Amino acid sequence: MVFGVYQGFFKKERPTFNLAEVVRGEITQEVSETGQVKKGEEINLSFKNAGRIEKIYVEVGEKVKEGDILAKLDTAPLKIQLQEAKAASDIAQAKLNKLSAGPTQEEIKIAQTAVKNSQVALDTARQGLKDADEDALNVLDDSYLKAYNAFNEVDLIQRTYFTSNDQEGIKVRENKDKTAAGMTQAKLYLDIAKTDSTNEKINTSLSEMKKALEITSDALKIIRETCEEPTYRNLVSSTNKTSLDTHRGYINTAITNLANSQQSIISAKFAIESAEGVLQAAEDDLALTTAPARQEDIDLYQAQVAQTQAQVQLLENQIEEAVLVSPTNGQIAKIAKQVGENVQSMTGDVVIILLPDAPFQIKANIYEEDVIKMKIGNPADISFVAFPEKVFKGKIISIDPAEKLIEGVVYYEVTIAFEEMPEGLKPGMTADLVIKTAQKENVLTIPQDAIQNKEGKTIVEVFKEGNIEDREIEVGLFGSNDMVEVVSGLEEGEKVTIR
């Protein structure tokens, strides 16, 4: 009984796992599907990427062989982008090398100087805002004075010439009241700005003072026009009329000065925000320069290197794909585009139509998840029930850009040409296809079952000297035999667990 209790409750079970060795070898990615033999049909050839046609090398009716160059896109813009991408890749690699090496004393001193200079620039910007506020107070004071003088002139003219209750007199008295109200409002906001000279109060006072002077300017305009009414044209002296024009000019100048003060304050605030941002960036740069390299930073720079290298690879592929080649032997049936014409990517923008020599082709509907792995030229092994002893060779010569819905599932039609034509082949025969979409040789491989995902990272358990440690790795190609390419993180001969 004691033995049973021990076995059931106290004895700990040792974890069980298998080990797999990291080996170097070949890895192949394949897609298996069935297709059907069809009579040879015209093949619509398109460029994989968009661009301008630089040259067409063939003519209608011309016989071509597999691999012959048919047309070419202008690659000058891509080559410029490639140079820029290579430069960016070099910069990213240099940053990674620099981070790994650590900062020099000169670099630390430069970063410290940048912080000091940024602080000086911020202090200067803050002083600029203070100066703008002081200038604004002077402008407010001057604007009130202009409103005060304008009211006095209007008051004198009204009492001198417009004392009667006729239409003109009433109009002048009404606009005199407006100038009085504008003057009162101007005085109110001048006092507010002087009492509480914060930037916010000054900015508000500028806006309200500007509104008050605009009312005064409109009132002066109406009074000046009233002075030209027939009854008062010769009554009001030219001196008074000129004085009205002068005061209105002063008011309009004051309005402009108020607007300029507002703009100066806005610019000063923006300068402070910009200087604060520059200072923060300089402080961050100094902290980054003097701090030891963190693993997170190294990972980031490594990711940037990988990203720029991927961009270089992408552009090199686009330049390579800017040449349209014949996928099989045949005859040019039609040329749908001309030199200099722009073409779109593989969305049905046909450039050349080719009539293949082979009497038969294989058509297969490929699932959308698999078709993205394929490209023209991928080799295929072809098997027939009618020819059980032999596997025929073929390759993809066309991928239809338009989708096909089959029972609600998206497929794309792929055309495969024979490299050797079976004797006795008939239309309608079913073909078993194994399409090789990618292949790499002499790469490190591990079983897919050894890979785990933890917190968004690709992890394997490495067994070393009786201990197990988690290690992050970078994977590449996933093979059809459940093997995976290891790009980095493991060395040949190491052992990983399979649970």
**Please, what is the end-to-end C-alpha distance for the chain in angstroms?**
33
Residue 39: is its pLDDT beyond 70?
Answer: yes
Residue 246: is its pLDDT beyond 90?
Answer: yes
What's the confidence (pLDDT) of residue 347? 58
Give the C-alpha separation, 460 to 445, whole Å. 12
Let me know if residue 339 belongs to a domain. Answer: yes
Other CB atoms within a 10 A radius of the CB of residue 135 amount to 16
Q: What proportion of the chain, given as a percentage, has pLDDT over 90?
A: 31
Please tell me whether residues 304 and 336 are part of one structural domain.
no
Please tell me whether residues 52 and 125 are part of one structural domain.
no
Please give the full DSSP string across 444-469, using - where no structure is assigned: EEEEGGG-EEETTEEEEEEEETTEEE
Which of 302, 333, 357 is where one domain is finished?
A: 357
pLDDT higher for 225 or 61? 225
Other CB atoms within a 10 A radius of the CB of residue 225 amount to 11
What's the confidence (pLDDT) of residue 3? 58
Residue 346: is its pLDDT beyond 70?
Answer: no
Confidence of residue 464 (pLDDT cuts 50, 70, 90): confident
Let me know if residue 137 belongs to a domain. Answer: yes
CATH no. for residue 68?
A: 2.40.50.100
Please tell me whether residues 308 and 342 are part of one structural domain.
no
User: Residue 304's domain spans which residues?
Assistant: 76-99+293-321
**Neighbouring-strand partners of residue 447:** 483
pLDDT higher for 381 or 15? 381
Let me know if residue 3 belongs to a domain. Answer: no
Let me know if residue 5 belongs to a domain. Answer: no
Which of 332, 357, 382 is where one domain is finished?
A: 357
pLDDT higher for 455 or 476? 476
Let me know if residue 399 belongs to a domain. Answer: yes
- What are the tens digits of pLDDT across the range 184-211? 998 998 888 888 878 888 888 999 999 9
Please tell me whether residues 376 and 275 are part of one structural domain.
no
- What are the tens digits of pLDDT across the range 46-78? 888 888 898 999 988 898 988 899 999 898 888
Let me know if residue 217 belongs to a domain. Answer: yes
What's the confidence (pLDDT) of residue 348? 62
Please tell me whether residues 472 and 413 are part of one structural domain.
yes
**Neighbouring-strand partners of residue 324:** 71
Q: Which of 92-101, 231-240, 448-457 has the highest mean pLDDT?
A: 231-240
Residue 289: is its pLDDT beyond 80?
Answer: no
What's the confidence (pLDDT) of residue 8? 54
Once rounded to an integer, what is the mean pLDDT over residues 104-121? 90
Please tell me whether residues 220 and 328 are part of one structural domain.
no
CATH no. for residue 458?
A: 2.40.30.170
Please tell me whether residues 314 and 328 are part of one structural domain.
no
Task: Spell out a b/e string for 343-379, using b for 16 or more CB atoms within 10 Å of the CB, else e.
Answer: beebeebbbbbbebebebbbbbbbeeebbeebebebe
Let me know if residue 2 belongs to a domain. Answer: no
Tell which residue, 246, 179, 238, 184, has the closest CA to residue 214: 179
Give the total number of structural domains in the chain: 4
What's the confidence (pLDDT) of residue 397? 85
What's the confidence (pLDDT) of residue 392? 86
Please tell me whether residues 215 and 238 are part of one structural domain.
yes
Mean predicted lDDT score pLDDT of the chain? 87
Residue 293: is its pLDDT beyond 80?
Answer: no
Residue corresponding to tokens 């190294």: 298
What's the confidence (pLDDT) of residue 95? 82
Please tell me whether residues 487 and 367 are part of one structural domain.
yes
What's the confidence (pLDDT) of residue 274? 92
* CA distance to 25, 45, 154, 437, per residue, from 148 (Å): 94, 83, 10, 87
Give the angle subtended at the CA of 257 by the CAs of 252 and 258, to the nearest 5°: 95
Please tell me whether residues 157 and 169 are part of one structural domain.
yes
Let me know if residue 108 belongs to a domain. Answer: no
* CA distance to 79, 311, 312, 440, 441, per residue, from 316 (Å): 8, 9, 6, 19, 21
CATH no. for residue 181?
A: 1.20.140
Please tell me whether residues 344 and 415 are part of one structural domain.
no
Residue 469: is its pLDDT beyond 80?
Answer: yes
What's the confidence (pLDDT) of residue 439? 84
- What are the tens digits of pLDDT across the range 391-403? 888 888 888 877 8
Residue 286: is its pLDDT beyond 80?
Answer: yes
Residue 141: is its pLDDT beyond 60?
Answer: yes
Once rounded to an integer, what is the mean pLDDT over residues 486-493? 88
Please tell me whether residues 341 and 365 are part of one structural domain.
no
Whether the Cβ atoms of residue 112 and residue 291 lie closer than 8 Å to each other = no
